[in-house]
Chain A
Amino acid sequence: MVIRAHSRTLFAIAFAILHDREEAEDVVQETFVKAFRSRWRIRKADRLPGWLSTVARNRALDLLRRRRPIACPEPAAVDSAPRAADAADAEETRELLHRTLATLPETHRIALTLRYLEGLDHKAIQQAMGLSDGALRGILGRGLATMRKALKPSTSPALE
């Protein structure tokens, strides 16, 4: 029950930090294993989601620190054939979005990921991250503002 109830939330948190599905799933697995082995430390059931989120976040950060720098792929050869302007713009926008997302502070990134990847409501995100309503709103607002600012020139009217 605990795994089914919280696995997606923890996946979103880990993915927000690692941007890698496989590693995110490993983090979720380790989190639940640790939760099982340390279950005697959790005395109140309502503290479990927050505790799981903290463990997942710490493990993801550990993994991120230990991760070796990934070599940047070679830029693709310029296709001389004319591409569709819209597709190129969209691709560029997606890349810019991911880069901007990666530069956001960790809490902003996690909050946005929980909001848009999992589609959690504010209350669920507050519980997962241990934030108050006002704090969460501020974090989401600032995160979105940063994203808009970074993506404004490249946002095409079709994608709004």
Chain B
Amino acid sequence: MNTLLEQELGAQRPGPELADRMVRRVRARLDAPANAAALLAALRRIVLARPMQLAYAVLLLAAMVKSGSMITGERPPGISTEMTRPVAAIGSAGGADTDRRRTADDKFAMNTELKEEGILQPGNRPVGAPAFAGRTDMPRSFAAPAPGDAVDSLVAAGATRHFGWKDTAADGSLAAAAAPAESGEGGAAAGAAALALPVAEPQPGNRKLIRDASVQVEVADYAKAAASIGAFATGEGGYISTQSSNRGANGKLQGSIEIKLPPERLDDFLGKLRGLGDVKSQNLTTQDVTKDYFDTGARMRNAQVEEARLIEIVKNRTGKLSDVLEVERELARVRESIEQMQGTLKYYDAMVQFATVTIALNEKDLNTPAQYLLKQRADLSLYSKDVDAAFARARQIAASAQAQVLDSNVQRDDAGRTTATLSLLINPDAAESALGQLKDLGRIENFTSATQRIAQGGSDNADGAVRTERDKVEAHLTILKDEENSVQQTEIGIQTADIEARIAALKKNASDMGAEVKGASFQSDPSGAEFGTVQLRMPLRAYAGVLAAVKHLGEVKNLSTHRQEGATVSDNAPAEMTVQLFTEPQVVTPDDGLWATIRRTLGEAAGAVAWSVRMIGVSLAFFAPWLLLLGVAAVCVKLARRLRRKS
């Protein structure tokens, strides 16, 4: 067998030239120009190389993390692209970090305020984050009342004293006046317009005035008078709110009726009341709550933005449970605050919508002819740009009316604001004229006229004429410094660094450009986040320059502009700007020592790894059914091919 194999296989043995032949052939093959197949082979070697395989694995994991993130909609922890609240945010969106927990007491530590004037009242102080971003309702623009509105003259019978507010009609001049203010910015204006939130529709007559009146009327027939009052109220678009009556010891009916009606119909209603009987006394008050109303509205909107941010933090929570609980406590407090302010606004709306007239009715006791002394007191508050000049003029009016000056006073406070008061006793014949002239001295803030008829014996039902003697009119005048309401309000949020330096630079630039700094504040919290506010007031002609300077402070995050409509606006009309500066949120807060920082960073890294693993799991769970389906399909195809081959 061995011999046979050696003989047969040995015959096939190649000669010694095999090696030479192989060398030549291999050399020729290697020297041949590269062709497509060789290039493909080279490419295949590169693609299948071990380092490339590792890169494929990393890419696959990253793709799975990304797909998991897209499926769940979650963002990686510790990274936030929206503005983080620098002060009021409690805890953070990513990573367990015990060092960043803050108690309620030290939450707003290092709160430094630079109050220039008393503009930043305690109620208006910004508590926490910027007050915009995402707001959908804007403060209503309000029409500035034209100074020296026409008022009705004093009625000699002393029944009523009233005045009316007139709303200036929109004539389109505001748009023309505002355009030059923005045209100087060019592209900046376009950018500002792009960033501006939609402006709410303006409401006519946006001043909030609460009007009340109380009247005492003596009538012959109580029931008839009460019915007439009801009819008067209905006719003027009002209604009876409350009504009560009782019969006195003398058998006469007396009672009280409260009427609610539109404030613009109040004067007509009071005029009708005079026809019912004798008006024994009348008191008319008007309370201007405009400032309080809009301040409350602005604070409520700030709180709503804060609430939205807290809800977002709670929803995306990845921190410790204690941080989450702290956020929820803050959220409850903010919600309570919002509800309180909403209640206040509703109360104001209700009170402004309807004037209240309280009527005290009593039946006359007719015996002897009545004698009355009519006493009148008028309280008038005015706004004037020049208090001293208005006060001097008031003295002249008093002198020309031969009024007796009971008190005269001019006060100046530390901020340079002047207030003047003047108390007079005016002869009844000259009172109407004198009061009319006094009202023309400035913009009326409040006017109250109270008329009291003091019975001095007798009865209205007795025979004989009723005698009424008019006493001197007591007039009290208060003149206040008028600050015209701004025609344009702008709020802008800037993200930048070194807030204090930016505030100082802004104040300097604003002053150089003719703007007045009304107030400024600065806050920082233990996490290193800083927050500052500067309030500016400037003529409209300086608005564009100031806005451009503000935008250079950093990155504009929010910009909203509210413009008054319905009034003539000049380049000198005042505009107000609230600039809110805040720092970029820090992922790793500065804290004590290197180890604390390393600890926090490791914690956040661990959180990020855990999050990535979770996303990979989500991705696997999402794609597993598809992979299973593809695997089953591949097996079926393979089986089918095998069966076909066998057959």
Q: Which residues of A contact B (CB under 8 A)?
A: 3-4, 7-8, 11, 15, 21, 25, 28-29, 32-33, 36-38, 93-94, 97-98, 112-113, 115-119, 144, 147-148, 151, 155, 159-160
Contact = CB atoms under 8 A, between A and B. Distances in A.
17 contacts: A7-B19, A8-B14, A11-B18, A21-B14, A25-B18, A28-B22, A29-B26, A33-B26, A33-B29, A36-B26, A37-B41, A94-B8, A116-B8, A118-B13, A144-B5, A147-B5, A160-B1
A93 B26 contact: no
Given A7-B22, A144-B1, A155-B4, 15 more contacts: A4-B19, A7-B18, A11-B18, A28-B22, A29-B22, A29-B25, A29-B26, A32-B26, A116-B2, A116-B8, A119-B10, A144-B2, A147-B5, A159-B7, A160-B3
B23 interface: yes
A155 B45 CA distance: 52
B594 interface: no
B26 A151 contact: no
B29 A3 contact: no
Nearest to B4: A159
A151 B19 contact: no
Contacts of A25: 18, 21-22, 25
A117 B1 contact: no
Interface centre among B3, B26, B29 (most CB of A within 10 A): B26
A159 B29 contact: no
Given A3-B19, A3-B23, A7-B22, A97 B3 contact: no
A116 B3 CA distance: 9
B103 interface: no
A97 B18 contact: no
Contact of A113 (B9, B22, B41): B9
Contacts of B6: 116
A38 B38 CA distance: 13
A115 B1 CA distance: 13
B3 to A, nearest CB: 7
A108 B545 CA distance: 96
B21 to A, nearest CB: 7
A144 B5 CA distance: 9
A7 B18 CA distance: 7
A6 to B, nearest CB: 9
B121 interface: no
A29 B29 contact: yes
Interface centre among B7, B12, B13, B30 (most CB of A within 10 A): B12
B26 A3 contact: yes
A93 B14 contact: no
Contacts of A36: 26, 30
Contacts of B41: 37
Contact of A97 (B4, B14, B23, B26): B4
A103 B296 CA distance: 101
Contact of A147 (B1, B21, B23, B26): B1
Contacts of A32: 22, 26
Contacts of A148: 1
Contacts of A116: 2, 5-6, 8-10
A7 B9 CA distance: 17
Nearest to B20: A4
Contacts of A29: 22, 25-26, 29
A160 to B, nearest CB: 7
Contacts of A8: 14, 18-19
B25 A98 contact: no
Interface in B180-212: none
A4 B23 contact: yes
A112 B19 contact: no
A160 B2 CA distance: 8
A109 B25 CA distance: 27
Contacts of B13: 117-119
Interface string B20-59: 0111011001100000000001000100000000000000
A97 B5 contact: yes
Contacts of A11: 14, 18
A110 to B, nearest CB: 12
A43 to B, nearest CB: 13
A21 to B, nearest CB: 7
Contacts of A93: 4
A3 B18 CA distance: 10
Nearest to A160: B3
Contacts of A117: 9-10, 12-13
A91 B498 CA distance: 104
A98 B12 CA distance: 12
Nearest 7 interchain pairs by C-beta = A117-B9, A4-B19, A116-B9, A116-B5, A7-B22, A32-B26, A29-B25
Contacts of B2: 116, 144
Nearest to B29: A33
A8 to B, nearest CB: 6
